[in-house]
């Protein structure tokens, strides 16, 4: 009796399982769907860049010496012509005094040469008179004439020595003036590289003492855009960006320049896109990393579908050979997929604009097939796995 009950139970369980799978197969295909929506689509290119001042001036020194005084510090506002640092002028003052003495010596030599020339001219005049009366030989007259010509040349040499000494004095004056470091622009000191007592050497290249940003209310972003996207970037396009310091704020900018010089790093080619930004509150600081979104196109109030709907194909359907413009989506009609041809437009990477096609807002479009029966259909809409 018990054995019979067990056999009957097994038979009933087997029958229930067969009925369950028959009913499941009878129920047909299951799909994951999503509604067609209406709204805005923004096509954009993303990139990263660095916030910089529009004009940055490196202030250095053309003379070597010890820093005697510093009149500004980090973030100090400066004016054009303002004294910002001084190099010890003692050596240059001594050189200028020596140059002035050389000028005075050259002028004294010139006066001496003028006096000698005047004396030789008087001697020549007397010798000519004596020679005319036969009191001196011809050789004495010739010697007097030679002395006049020689002394005239010495006067010219003395004049040249004055000019040479004056030029050396100007160089000494200039070097002394260079010991006063002057700001060349109006702006803000963003970097100071020296301290009082430090020795700077300007023998081979000009050392940088200060970095001055001319106007921090006007900034620019140097964004690195991939070569595959650079063809879509145009001057005047709007830009949204954020920085890590203010993650909740979206800043606005505009593309001002697309530079043609390539930047190659590890065989990756990018191009520098310059974005002009207003910074009235001085929140943006030089060197900040910016996450940039360059707005390519904006479409308002359009029909849009998920990109997955454009990739889905039932297992018995073949993918059409058309390009981007001729595509299809599928809706469910009488529990079966129904093909609808559409023309697509702008895409933001997740949603795509439907330009033409028999789709209405609120309709359900198929994204993928569900269930074991439709694994093949899913594989048609997904790329193969890579092992």
pLDDT-derived band at 375, boundaries 50, 70, 90: very low
- Which of these ranges, 153-162, 282-291, 345-354, has the smallest mean pLDDT? 345-354
Cβ-count burial of 186 within 10 angstroms (0-12 exposed, 13-18 middle, 19+ buried)?
middle
Q: What is the pLDDT of residue 138?
A: 92
Mean pLDDT, range 118-137, rounded to an integer? 91
Mean pLDDT, range 283-309, rounded to an integer? 93
pLDDT-derived band at 370, boundaries 50, 70, 90: confident
- Mean pLDDT score across all residues of the chain: 86
Q: Would you say residue 106 has pLDDT above 60?
A: yes
* Tens of pLDDT, residues 162-220: 999 999 999 999 999 999 999 999 999 999 999 999 999 887 677 899 999 999 999 99
């Amino acid at each position: 009796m018990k054995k019979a009950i067990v056999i009957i139970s097994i038979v009933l369980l087997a029958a229930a399982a067969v009925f369950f799978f028959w009913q499941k197969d009878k129920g047909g295909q299951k799909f994951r769907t999503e509604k067609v929506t209406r709204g805005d689509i923004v096509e954009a290119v993303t990139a990263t860049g660095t916030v910089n001042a529009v004009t940055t001036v490196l202030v250095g020194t053309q003379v070597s010496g010890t820093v005697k005084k510093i009149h500004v510090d980090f973030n100090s506002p400066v004016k054009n012509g303002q004294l910002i640092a001084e190099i010890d002028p003692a050596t240059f003052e001594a050189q200028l005094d020596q140059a002035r003495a050389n000028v005075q010596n050259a002028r004294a030599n010139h006066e001496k040469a003028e006096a000698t020339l005047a004396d030789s001219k008087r001697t020549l005049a007397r010798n000519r008179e004596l020679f005319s009366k036969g009191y001196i030989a011809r050789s004495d007259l010739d010697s007097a004439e030679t002395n006049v010509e020689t002394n005239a040349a010495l006067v010219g040499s003395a004049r040249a020595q004055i000019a040479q000494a004056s030029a050396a004095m100007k160089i000494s004056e200039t070097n002394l003036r260079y010991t006063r470091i002057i700001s060349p622009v109006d702006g803000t000191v963003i970097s100071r590289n020296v301290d009082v007592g430090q020795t700077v050497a300007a023998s081979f290249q000009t050392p940088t003492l200060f970095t001055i940003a001319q106007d921090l209310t006007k900034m620019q972003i140097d964004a690195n855009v991939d070569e595959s996207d650079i063809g879509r970037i145009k001057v005047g396009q709007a830009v949204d960006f954020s920085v890590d310091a203010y993650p909740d704020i979206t800043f606005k900018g505009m593309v001002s320049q697309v530079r043609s010089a390539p930047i190659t790093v590890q065989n990756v080619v990018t191009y520098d896109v310059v974005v002009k930004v207003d910074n009235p509150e001085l929140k943006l600081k030089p060197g900040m990393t910016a996450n940039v979104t360059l707005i390519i196109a904006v479409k308002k109030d359009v029909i849009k579908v998920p990109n997955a709907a454009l990739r889905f194909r039932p297992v018995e359907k073949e993918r059409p050979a058309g390009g981007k413009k001729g595509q299809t989506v599928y809706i469910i009609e009488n529990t079966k997929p129904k093909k609808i041809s559409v023309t697509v437009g702008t895409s933001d990477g997740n949603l795509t604009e439907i330009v033409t096609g028999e789709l209405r807002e609120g309709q359900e479009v198929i994204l993928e097939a569900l269930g074991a029966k439709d694994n093949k259909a899913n594989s048609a809409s997904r790329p193969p796995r890579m092992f």
